[in-house]
Amino acid sequence: MKVAAIQMVSAVAREANLARAHQLLRQAAEAGAELAVLPEYFCTMGLRDTDKLRLREAPDGGMVQGFLADAAREFGMWIVGGTLPLESPEEDHVLNTSLAYAPTGECVARYDKIHLFYFASGDEHYDERRVITPGSRPVVFDLPSRDGHRWRVGMSVCYDLRFPELYRALSRAGAELLLVPSAFTHTTGSAHWEVLLRARAIENLAWVVAPAQGGQHENGRRTWGQSLVADPWGTVLDQQATGEGVVLCELDIGLLEQARTRLPALTHRVL
């Protein structure tokens, strides 16, 4: 199954971001991708954290959800929409939600980001807890590919990457492919991004597809980028350092089965 990890440098205006995402999705489809994954905050990187409140959508529909459904139908492709702000039970908060769409335009899975980013170092300070309500459950969905294999796909977002217990839960649920749409900061990404992604692939003997934000944003934020695909042995097969682009890779279920046969670590778990 050919997959596309889409890297963006999202701006403030939602409509402009959706237009650019559409162009990149078209590029992925024309290259033969069966699944395309957009990065976290693909639809907006606001000037302030509270801008998410103004753009939040109801769970049953909105501009961004309509865009994703329409694009999936237009391109006949599975699309996972990085994240978008959905209404939260808390009036002054949103959920940071990743949605998966089938080529029919049907939304088949919803994951609300569980772990919320906090970082403070000098002038650099982030605290997602101020406006985001955390999710509470791991999510997997099935993706029947053209090659006849039914992929079991585990969903996660950005800061989740630092919590291996989430990925172990996805693995226990049968995940063969782990998605990690992200917007890692340049500071944390340069130190930890690749090693964490490779670790999650190795620990779970699973494919990892990690699309990211990558560059200098209109709001002043600088993201690390390095969207990549890693195989179940932890080898990075393709990546893009910075700037917009599409990282393409062919996923081979046989390689996963071979890795799990050679090193059946998942069957050796004790705790």
- Give me the catalytic one of 52, 57, 87, 113: 113
Q: What's the number of domains the chain is made of?
A: 1
Residues 186-245: pLDDT tens digits?
999 999 999 999 999 999 999 999 999 999 999 999 999 999 999 999 999 999 999 999
Radius of gyration of the chain from its Cα atoms, rounded to whole angstroms:
17
Q: Is 2 a catalytic residue?
A: no
DSSP letter string, 36-87: EEPPTTTT---SSTTHHHHH-BBTTB-HHHHHHHHHHHHHT-EEEEEEEEEE
Q: Is 158 a catalytic residue?
A: yes
Residues 119-167: pLDDT tens digits?
999 889 999 999 999 999 999 999 999 999 999 999 999 999 999 999 9
Give the pLDDT band of residue 251 (cuts 50, 70, 90). Answer: very high
At residue 178, the pLDDT reads 99
Residues 45-102: pLDDT tens digits?
999 999 999 999 999 899 999 999 999 999 999 999 999 999 999 999 999 999 999 9
Q: What is the mean pLDDT of residues 30-53?
A: 96
Q: State the average pLDDT for the chain.
A: 97
Q: For residue 12, what are the domain limits?
A: 2-268
Of the candidates 103, 101, 70, 266, the one whose C-alpha atom is nearest the C-alpha of residue 175 is 266
Are the beta carbons of 145 and 164 closer than 8 angstroms?
Answer: no
Residues 168-201: pLDDT tens digits?
999 999 999 999 999 999 999 999 999 999 999 9
Of the candidates 231, 180, 178, the one whose C-alpha atom is nearest the C-alpha of residue 7 is 180
Are the beta carbons of 9 and 211 closer than 8 angstroms?
Answer: no
Q: What does pTM read for this prediction?
A: 0.98
At residue 232, the pLDDT reads 98
218: Cα within 13 Å, side-chain hemisphere: 14
At residue 82, the pLDDT reads 97
At residue 170, the pLDDT reads 98
d(CA 156, CA 143): 16
**Per this entry, what is the length of the chain?**
271
Interior angle at CA 230, CA 262 and CA 27, nearest 5 = 140
- Give me the catalytic one of 43, 57, 87, 158: 158
CATH code of the domain containing 97: 3.60.110.10
